[in-house]
């Protein structure tokens, strides 16, 4: 008897292929490093800070009741439904292997419900804001977390991501004792800063510190300026010592940040040369700058690269602060095989804004669209061949500069299968 072969089920094959592609996407995603990033041109002015502390850093204590606020603007005329979700990461910012139910009690994602239209502004924008944790989503473990803002319903579809932002949830299971001073390397004594520290962990067992402990130092919460994967060099009962001699824990001191204020368009602040209203909005022209690389160290008050959205004419700063075109000028000869960029917390220190050279002016210039407020910024020179940043030419570097350093202690928890943050301090 002839055997009849059944016809292939193309529908099930398509489903299997779709499942395979989805699984492949998850695998690729799991290998990615989560960063502070914006994926759409219509997204502006992302902020993340502890509730009621706009100049605070994006970290909160586990089970403390503290919350982080997230804010951003969308240049659009109509509301768009957006969601947010959290991803737990290892100490190297790769998504951990945990299922979300292992690090979140409740829901991993939620709808952004606070959506408001900017008013009394020349630029049309819609302001989105939300807080985390929420009553419906509570982190269960400490560690690195990535906040993902996305459209649609599937957070795993990276093509729908709007923005990602790093934040930390920590425990204080041990005590970090930092010691900030000039570099112990003689050649760097006047240009670099060094952070030695001890971890006192009496009552908190660390069974294999060389394997399970990873310490990180970060300057001004700029993820480009970190010293990570640090291991203790001395191990004593209840005390780990991190005190290096080869520069592993040293940083360029850089210089105090340049700044400008544009909180009220009716008058010019000290760093503003003039303000003009043109067809495309207000233009704020800053006073020309010069390179500071060869100048002696000068101290002044700054906010360590941060920025503050502010409108002095009253009301809600997030809704009534307008967007303005800010013009930057750096007077210096053109440098071949290198570019000049502007950086600060306003561009997450990472998506650097490039300057162009104006031969008529003999200066590097840039025009950035920024929201009203107070800003710290600086110029960075980047070698086009090595993609290496050089801060000394444009700003200088001094051991006496006032910076904020956070020391973060990661411990791999074998029972959980993930990195926890067991101690944090700042200096």
In a shared domain, residues 310 and 335: yes
What is the rounded average pLDDT of the residues 308-337? 95
C-alpha 348/C-alpha 38 separation (Å) is 10
Task: State the chain's mean pLDDT as an integer.
Answer: 92
Q: With respect to residue 381, please indicate whether it lies within any of the assigned structural domains.
A: yes
In a shared domain, residues 197 and 239: yes
Phi, psi of 70 (to 5 degrees): -120, 135
158 and 27 in contact (C-beta within 8 Å)?
Answer: no
C-alpha 405/C-alpha 289 separation (Å) is 27
Residue 32: per-residue pLDDT: 86
What CATH code is carried by the domain that includes residue 151? 2.60.40.10
Burial (CB count <10 Å: 0-12, 13-18, 19+), residue 425: middle
Q: With respect to residue 134, please indicate whether it lies within any of the assigned structural domains.
A: yes
Q: What is the largest CA-CA distance in the chain?
A: 98
C-alpha 27/C-alpha 18 separation (Å) is 14
Q: With respect to residue 104, please indicate whether it lies within any of the assigned structural domains.
A: yes
In a shared domain, residues 136 and 235: no
Q: With respect to residue 372, please indicate whether it lies within any of the assigned structural domains.
A: yes
Which of 118, 140, 170 lies at the terminal end of a domain, its last residue? 170
Q: With respect to residue 398, please indicate whether it lies within any of the assigned structural domains.
A: no
First to last CA, the chain: 85
Is the per-residue pLDDT at 401 higher than 80? yes
Share of the chain above pLDDT 90, in %: 87
Residue 388: per-residue pLDDT: 78
In a shared domain, residues 160 and 181: no
44 and 348 in contact (C-beta within 8 Å)?
Answer: no
Q: Kindly indicate the confidence band of residue 122, based on its pLDDT and cuts at 50, 70 and 90.
A: very high
In a shared domain, residues 65 and 49: yes
Instruction: Give me 353's structure tokens.
Output: 């804004």
What CATH code is carried by the domain that includes residue 229? 2.60.40
Q: With respect to residue 291, please indicate whether it lies within any of the assigned structural domains.
A: yes
Neighbours of 384 (CB within 10 A): 11
Instruction: Give me 239's structure tokens.
Output: 């005390």
Residue 314: per-residue pLDDT: 78
Number of domains composing the chain: 3
Q: Are strands 104-106 and 137-139 parallel, antiparallel or unpaired?
A: antiparallel
What is the rounded average pLDDT of the residues 371-375? 98
pTM for this model (two decimals): 0.90
Residue 90: per-residue pLDDT: 98
Is the per-residue pLDDT at 325 higher than 90? yes
In a shared domain, residues 263 and 221: no
Instruction: Give me 323's structure tokens.
Output: 């967007």
Residue 387: per-residue pLDDT: 76
Phi, psi of 376 (to 5 degrees): -100, 145
Which of 143, 170, 197 lies at the terminal end of a domain, its last residue? 170
Share of the chain above pLDDT 70, in %: 93
Cα three-residue angle 299-343-401, rounded to 5 degrees? 20
Q: DSSP assignment, residue 95?
A: B
Q: Please give the residue that has the higher pLDDT: either 4 or 320.
A: 320
In a shared domain, residues 42 and 164: yes
Q: With respect to residue 14, please indicate whether it lies within any of the assigned structural domains.
A: no
83 and 154 in contact (C-beta within 8 Å)?
Answer: no
Q: Which residue has 């009301």 as its token pair?
A: 315
272-299 pLDDT, tens digit each: 999 999 999 999 999 999 999 988 998 9
Q: Which residue has 């269960």 as its token pair?
A: 140
What is the rounded average pLDDT of the residues 184-192? 96
Range of the domain at 54: 33-170
Residue 11: per-residue pLDDT: 38
């Amino acid at each position: 008897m002839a055997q009849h072969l059944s016809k292939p089920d193309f529908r099930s094959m398509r489903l299997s292929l779709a499942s395979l592609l989805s699984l492949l996407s998850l695998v690729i995603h799991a290998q990615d490093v989560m960063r502070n990033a914006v994926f759409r041109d219509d997204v502006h002015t992302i902020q993340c800070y502890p509730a009621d502390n706009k100049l605070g850093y994006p970290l909160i204590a586990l089970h403390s009741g503290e919350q982080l606020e997230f804010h951003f603007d969308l240049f659009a005329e109509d509301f768009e439904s957006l969601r947010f979700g959290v991803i737990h990461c290892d100490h190297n910012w790769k998504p951990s292997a945990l299922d979300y139910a292992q690090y979140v009690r409740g829901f991993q994602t939620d709808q952004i419900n606070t959506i408001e239209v900017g008013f009394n502004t020349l630029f049309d924008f819609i302001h989105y804001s939300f807080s985390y944790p929420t009553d419906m989503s509570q982190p269960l473990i400490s560690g690195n977390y990535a906040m993902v803002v996305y459209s649609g319903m599937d957070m795993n579809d990276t093509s729908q991501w709007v923005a990602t932002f790093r934040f930390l949830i920590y425990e204080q299971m041990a005590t970090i004792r930092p010691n900030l001073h000039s570099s112990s390397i003689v050649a760097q004594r006047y240009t670099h800063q060094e952070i030695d520290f001890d971890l006192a962990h009496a009552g908190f067992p660390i069974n294999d510190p060389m394997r399970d402990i990873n310490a990180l130092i970060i300057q001004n919460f700029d993820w480009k300026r970190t010293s990570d994967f640090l291991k203790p060099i001395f191990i004593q009962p209840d005390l780990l010592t991190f005190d290096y001699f080869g520069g592993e824990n040293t940083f360029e001191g850089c210089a105090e940040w340049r700044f400008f204020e544009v909180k009220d368009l009716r008058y010019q602040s000290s760093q503003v040369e003039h303000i003009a209203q043109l067809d495309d909005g207000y233009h704020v022209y800053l006073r020309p700058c010069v390179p500071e690389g060869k100048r002696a160290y000068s101290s002044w008050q700054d906010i360590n690269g941060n920025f503050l959205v502010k409108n002095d004419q009253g009301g809600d700063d997030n809704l009534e602060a307008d967007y303005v075109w800010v013009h930057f000028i750096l007077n210096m000869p053109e440098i071949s095989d290198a570019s000049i960029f502007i950086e600060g917390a306003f561009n997450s220190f990472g998506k650097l804004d490039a300057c162009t050279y104006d031969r008529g002016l003999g200066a590097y210039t840039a025009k950035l669209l920024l929201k009203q407020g107070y800003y710290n910024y600086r110029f960075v020179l980047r070698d086009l061949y090595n993609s290496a940043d050089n801060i000394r030419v444009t700003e200088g570097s001094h051991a006496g500069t006032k910076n904020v350093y956070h020391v973060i202690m990661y411990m791999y928890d074998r029972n959980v299968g993930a990195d926890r943050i067991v101690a944090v301090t700042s200096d």
